[in-house]
Amino acid sequence: MDRSAQGVLLAFLAYAAYAVSDASVKLLHGSLSAYEAVFFGALSGVAALPFIREPGERLSGVFRARNRAMWVLRAVAAFTGSVGSVTAFTHLSMAEAFSLLFLMPTFVTVLSVAFLGEKVGWRRWLAVLMGFAGVLVVLRPGFRELNIGHLGAVVGGLSGAVTVVMMRAFGRTETRLSLYGAGLVGPVLGAGLLMLPEFAWPTAMQWVWILGYGLLMALANVFVMMASNRIEASLVAPAQYSQMIWAILFGYAVFGDGIDAVMGLGVAIIILSGVFTFMRERVRRPRGWRRAPPVHPQ
């Protein structure tokens, strides 16, 4: 198998691992606070550090950054994204949560224009409008009750987009270990403090789901990094849409979820808008993209 084929296979394996990780946190059924799940999940991500660092790089590089403000913002975005996505999977079906988290490419386009001064053509703006139209179809405002899970999913997608935009701006000047490490430190500190008032020691089964959530996330991060070393990261990113297939399968087989025709249409529109956006990204080859650590919608 050549390197390109290996890269594609690793990308799909990574996003399968992400999907199982998300299913694991959903299996908690909200029995632990989102902050506690995020704290232990992020702490488990330390297992990936030996694979993320460059040869000869010290683990203390996690806390080193040429641009300290960027590092802090990356940590905050990781915290809000993690809490948002855990909240989404707790309160929504997997397919609905993923459909809203997949607004990330749409948010990336908007933020790139606002903060990086990128010029965007009509095709990418059309993809943005498609994404928001898909959200309106899924949410059906005025026709169904919305809950905190919907807000969590949007926050998760927006936080992921903030991370992507920062990687474009600083991906060439910061180390991969520093960027990845900030994504662990933010959730560990933020969630660790907020979980204290309602902290409850997990049961044996809750530990299974928490460790499944965190360790599989770490494994997926390593797989994405390995894939990006073999093929362009812009080719790795579209594989994330395979998560929707896993979401539908897990939702039906494990959680008894169903998808009605209207939601299915909205999901399809959002996915098409994201795929179209990533196709445009591949042509642009954004600065710093290859050096960026893996980004999951949460």
Classify residue 79 as exposed, middle or buried by CB count within 10 Å of its CB (0-12, 13-18, 19+).
Answer: buried
**293 in a structural domain:** no
The predicted structure's pLDDT at residue 289:
40
- Among residues 244, 239, 280, 284, the alpha carbon closest in space to that of 11 is found at 239
**297 in a structural domain:** no
**182 in a structural domain:** yes
Find the domain containing 68 and state its range: 3-284
Classify residue 50 as exposed, middle or buried by CB count within 10 Å of its CB (0-12, 13-18, 19+).
Answer: exposed
The predicted structure's pLDDT at residue 43:
94
Work out the pLDDT band at 282, boundaries 50, 70, 90.
low
The predicted structure's pLDDT at residue 96:
87
**291 in a structural domain:** no
pLDDT tens digits for range 81-96: 999 999 999 999 998 8
Work out the pLDDT band at 270, boundaries 50, 70, 90.
confident
CA separation for the pair 59, 47 (Å, rounded): 12
The predicted structure's pLDDT at residue 241:
77
Q: What are phi and psi of 100, to 5 degrees?
A: -80, -35
3-state class of 149 per DSSP?
A: helix
The model carries a pTM of 0.87
**50 in a structural domain:** yes
The predicted structure's pLDDT at residue 288:
44
The predicted structure's pLDDT at residue 239:
77
- CA atoms 78, 79, 82, 84: torsion sign: negative
Indicate the average pLDDT of the chain: 84
CA separation for the pair 26, 9 (Å, rounded): 26
**298 in a structural domain:** no
**72 in a structural domain:** yes
What is the total count of domains within the chain?
Answer: 1
DSSP 220-251: HHHHHHHHHTTS-HHHHGGGGGHHHHHHHHHH
**208 in a structural domain:** yes
pLDDT tens digits for range 29-45: 999 999 999 999 999 99
CA separation for the pair 161, 100 (Å, rounded): 13
Work out the pLDDT band at 255, boundaries 50, 70, 90.
very high
Measured CA distances, 131 to 70, 92, 99, 269 (Å): 28, 19, 10, 7
118-152 in b/e form (b: 16+ CB < 10 A) is beeeeebeebbebbeebbebbbeeeeeeeeebbeb
